A and B are shown apart, each in its own frame.
Chain A
């Protein structure tokens, strides 16, 4: 396995996540897509770190995971708020704000 393989896998994961963010109508699916993007980043960081023989990237990945977890907590809380206020978490219906 070469570094390029890992980077390509990470790029594919990231693109899938980005596609999910753009196309998913459901808020929970959207959160999962964002998670996919975050994991692509972690894969990148750990792969670079491994192939350069130093630990900085792995430590960075730990922090990135913690950040993502904090983000998902806030995201799920928001989804609950949205569900309580309209009984649905479909985002294509959340279009009251425009102009």
Chain B
């Protein structure tokens, strides 16, 4: 009998996916809005269940491993799924009333890829999970098709195609790198990869594998798709796309670099350092020039990925723990920020500074939420982003990269400029349209939940930090 215990959550999620698909068939037109709520409730239920079952151990002949590290990513994906289903349910109901079932099923499939991938301990399973995550995301990005030429679907085909091209080319590049790694080590098991010596060929293989994954997390110099896709696709979906796949990308990078090639750190550390430094630099630089807020947040996200990579660079339990804490904080902050933008302009894919101008008079609650999210992204004390930045800097300092701390802090000051520009428009300028904003109930609830978490994690970071550290220690056995 095969031991499938470590895969319990994923198997349940797979069952739920087909369950939602069947319910979609049974529901008459006009009542399909319930599917969004159903998805949210099921995912929330699974999140609660994850605290009561034991998913540790090895499965599939050692190709799959369940531990605290993997469980962190599973819960992360489930929370992101709950937030996006509640945040997007109204949008999906208004714009694709007959196709809602497909939207949620695709969302569940991509979540399945995300929960499976961190546990993969074999390159083959890793690649398959990556695709299971990536392909539904492409379909979701172009979901609006061309039904409304002026609405949010206006740019969806182009945005979707750009994401598709980047996604498939990066898969091909990753696979090419992986094929070379396989050729050198003669195995696809991560734990046995490390036996090979450092050679130019290994360097090429690692560089290709890293380049492909760099595309997925949207790091410089593989970031070109990020702003275009964010601008062109629906805002609630972007809130998900900007957070969840990045976490999974980091899980994949950690699997290859730390579980596979920890002893060859000298070969990959310069690559990671280069990507990290350029991501922070160009992300912040390009963000300064943006007029479109989704493009601005896209570039700011590129810079944030740079900060997260510091954890990867240190390649120790402390650094990885800080990476997990950073990304957990980033989940609530960035999703919240995009969902506020969605609440402000629910029928457009392009959102500019004019839309948030005078927000404090049109909706004081949304304005406060936006302010807190921006402060958190900038790293101002007493919201979660401050601790996140502080702790990755501490990880860098402990690992001996003192100059990186100074560089990161300097670039954070540059970032302050464009974040506060938005806050200034929201609070200190006259609204162009004085009408109060009406927000859908569940979207409002998610924004408030994100805001509450940003504040709670900012005031009491220690339980979250301990959780992140425990998860990271599991990675190092």
Contact surface of A with B, Cβ cutoff 8 Å: 7, 14, 17-18, 21, 27, 30, 34, 37-38, 40-41, 44-45, 47-48, 52, 54, 56-57, 59-60, 63-64, 67, 70-71, 74-75, 77-79, 81-82, 84-86, 91, 94, 96-99
Contact = CB atoms under 8 A, between A and B. Distances in A.
Contacts of B175: 38, 41, 64
Given A64-B175, A78-B138, A21 B228 contact: no
B428 interface: no
Contacts of A40: 176
Contacts of B139: 74, 77
| Nearest 10 Cβ contacts at the A-B interface | A85-B146, A48-B183, A37-B172, A44-B179, A97-B228, A41-B175, A82-B157, A94-B158, A81-B157, A71-B168
22 contacts: A14-B176, A18-B169, A21-B165, A40-B176, A41-B175, A48-B183, A52-B183, A52-B186, A56-B188, A67-B128, A71-B135, A74-B135, A74-B138, A75-B168, A78-B157, A78-B164, A85-B145, A85-B149, A85-B157, A97-B159, A97-B232, A98-B228
Interface stretch (B252-260, B288-296, B303-311, B410-418): B288-296
Given A54-B186, A60-B124, A81-B146, A67 B161 contact: no
Interface in B175-212: 175-176, 179-180, 182-183, 186-188
Given A18-B169, A45-B179, A81-B146, 7 more contacts: A34-B165, A34-B169, A38-B175, A48-B182, A54-B186, A67-B127, A74-B164
Q: Assign chain B's interface to a size class.
A: 35 or more
A17 B135 contact: no
B93 interface: no
Contacts of B124: 59-60, 63
State the majority secondary structure of interface residues on B.
helix
Nearest to B175: A41
Contacts of B162: 97
B131 A71 contact: yes
Contacts of B188: 56, 60
Contacts of A48: 179, 182-183, 186
Contacts of A27: 161
A44 B145 CA distance: 37
Nearest to A37: B172
A88 B145 CA distance: 15
Nearest to A46: B179
Interface centre among B171, B187, B291 (most CB of A within 10 A): B171
Contacts of A63: 124, 127-128
Contacts of A75: 164, 168
Contacts of B161: 27, 78-79, 82, 91, 94
A64 B290 CA distance: 39
B318 interface: no
A30 B176 contact: no
Nearest to A44: B179
* Residue of A30, A34, A78 with highest tally of chain B CB at under 10 A: A78
A7 B180 CA distance: 9
A99 B138 contact: no
Contact of B142 (A7, A57, A81, A98): A81
